[in-house]
A and B are shown apart, each in its own frame.
Chain A
Amino acid sequence: IQMTQSPSTLSASLGDRVTISCRASQSIDGWLAWYQQKPGKAPKLLIDKASTLQSGVPLRFSGSGFGTEFTLTISSLQPDDFATYYCQQYNSYLEMSFGGGTKVEIK
C-alpha cells in the first residue's frame, strides 16, 4: 500500500491553521497513525486510528479521515510544532508503510 503525503514542505506562521494530507493507494479503513519527528530525534506518535489523540498531545492537533483520504490538522501553529510529520498505515501488517513526510517550516 502506497502512502502519499502532501505537501512535502509547508511554510506557515505562528498561529496559522495547518492541514497535511495523506492518501492511501487502497482503502485502509481507519488504520492510520500520525507522527511528529524533530531533527536527530525519534518519531513521536501523535494520533492513532486516524483520529485518536495520544495522551499528552496538545488539543490543537487533530486527525480525520477514513478509507483512502486522511488529514492532520494543527489548529494554531506553535513554536514547538515546527517539525516533519509522517503518516503510517497499519491496515496490512504484511507490509506496513509510511508516507514520505511533510516538513513544516517557519514562514
Chain B
Amino acid sequence: QVQLVESGGGVVQPGRSLRLSCTGSGFTFRAYALHWVRQAPGKGLEWVALISYDGNSEYYADSVNGRFTISRDNSKNTLYLQVNSLRPEDTAVYYCARVGGATYHHGMDVWGQGTTVTVSS
C-alpha cells in the first residue's frame, strides 16, 4: 500500500544537528513533490519545507530557513530533512507528506506516522 515512513528522530542538545529520513513505498516516489510538516506538543500543524519531484526546487518556512535543508534521493525513495542549530522550540513531531497531484496546488494526501524530535539539554 501507499506508505511513508519517517525515522531519525531523538533527543538532542540545543545547537546540535539531526537528519530525519522518510522512505516511500507503494507509489512512484520520483513523481511527487513532498513536504515536511511539524507539530509541537499540544500545538497545531506548522508547514516546514517543500521539495519538487526532482529535487531541483526547495521552499522553506521563515522559522527554519537557513537552518533546515530538505533533500531527496529518488534512487532510494527517500526524503531527508537536515536540521541544524536546533533550538528548544524545534521540539515537535515531524511528518513527511506527499503532494496529492502533479503540481504544488494540491493538499497533502499521504502522511507518515511522524518522528519525534526533542531538543533539550
Contact = CB atoms under 8 A, between A and B. Distances in A.
A48 B104 contact: no
A88 B96 CA distance: 15
Nearest to B112: A42
Interface size class, chain A = 20 to 34
B47 A43 contact: no
B107 interface: yes
Nearest to A84: B44
B107 A42 contact: no
B47 to A, nearest CB: 4
Contacts, number: 68
B50 interface: yes
B27 interface: no
A54 B109 CA distance: 9
A66 interface: no
A97 interface: yes
A31 B50 CA distance: 16
Interface residues of B, number: 23
Interface in A68-107: 86, 88, 90-91, 93-101
A94 B59 contact: yes
A98 B47 contact: yes
B62 interface: yes
B9 to A, nearest CB: 14
Contacts of A93: 50, 59, 104-105
Give the one of B44, B95, B112 with max A CB within 10 A: B44
B104 A98 contact: no
24 contacts: A33-B106, A42-B95, A42-B111, A42-B112, A42-B113, A43-B37, A43-B95, A43-B97, A45-B100, A49-B106, A49-B107, A54-B109, A86-B44, A88-B45, A88-B47, A88-B107, A88-B108, A90-B104, A95-B62, A96-B35, A98-B37, A98-B44, A98-B46, A99-B44
Interface of A: 31, 33, 35, 37, 42-45, 47-49, 54, 86, 88, 90-91, 93-101
Given A45-B100, A90-B107, 6 more contacts: A33-B108, A90-B104, A93-B59, A93-B104, A96-B35, A98-B37
